[in-house]
Amino acid sequence: MNAIINSIGIYVPEKPIDNHYFESIIDTTDEWITTRTGISQRFYAAENEYTSDLCVKAVQNLASKYNKDLSDIDFIIVATTSGEQVMPNMASQVQTRLNIPNAGCIDVYAACAGFVYGIILAKGLIAAGTHKKVLVIGAETLSKITDFTDRTSCILFGDGAGAVIVEASGENHIFDALTETDGSHGKDLYLAHQNVPINGEPVIPDRNLHQNGKVVFKWAVSTLVGKIQELTSRNHLKLEDIDWLIPHSANIRILESVCSGLNVPMDKCLESIRNYGNTSAASIPIAWYNGIESGKVKLDDNLLLIGFGGGLTCAGICLQNKIEKK
């Protein structure tokens, strides 16, 4: 049942988009965006660059940086809401493009909580004894499903990918997890392909993200404050035992409110929102990777990862960092 994560990789597209870009297409300013979200820039995929491309490049970064053999991976999980196809899934695209011969492949559609769900599922496969080496990827090309006429949401999203390998281990470094969903708020953050109501309410089936920002903000803060406390308790830890909180980077104001509600200093919270925007399923691995690269996150640090988003759903897990800076 023991598992470890000792490698990580990320990829973001080459094209940076600063806040001034939006001044030319909607009624906004750099100051307005920065003040309300904390975002200064994000990255957009090229016209011919898609979610599967970002997945592959993030895994290649991991393999190169940590000298990882990919050939014996026996399961691939991709967390995304912006894959270029529903079928074949993104995990299957990763499998064939990276020549991984014998792997099960699934995609997880849990929005911004998807990467943590992926780790939880990977640990479960290892605990069941059916698998030994699981590749977990969070990847998004949200720029391709953004409504650029919606001034309150189009400024938020960016593209990127992050990947880890969850492996069977002699000792356990991935601990107890928590999952939570409130499906009654499904209409408050959705992406509809067909004109089918959500909880009896009509939708806009334009294949773009739609968000009720005020409702999601309130739900996120109250949920995270409670669930982070519950998760530490499940793991017989106190908040002061956690070296780094790594929540989904949706909005810097959400993270500040959560830290305030927990009485935890903001400088113990790793984020990717300022320089990458909201990259949904990719935001946690990007923040984790950059924390390691900057020297903040050290070997054996206690981490608490928690994602939250469309569903509305939440997933958290505590683990010990076994990834060294390379």
- Among the listed residues 308, 324, 7, 246, the one whose alpha carbon sits nearest the alpha carbon of residue 134: 7
| Identified catalytic residue from 131, 248, 275, 314 | 248
Active site residue 248: yes
C-alpha span between 275 and 280 (Å, rounded) = 14
Please give the full DSSP string across 138-176, using - where no structure is assigned: EEEEGGGG--TT-TTTTTTB-EEEEEEEEEE-SS--EEE
Active site residue 269: no
CA dihedral 56, 62, 67, 69 (to 10 degrees): -50
Would you say 120 and 174 are in contact if contact means Cβ atoms under 8 Å apart? Answer: no
DSSP symbol at 86: S
How does strand 209-211 pair with strand 189-191?
A: antiparallel
Would you say 22 and 33 are in contact if contact means Cβ atoms under 8 Å apart? Answer: yes
Active site residue 89: no
CB atoms within 10 A of CB 51: 28
Q: What is the largest CA-CA distance in the chain?
A: 56
| Identified catalytic residue from 19, 235, 251, 278 | 278
Point out the residues that are catalytic. 112, 248, 278
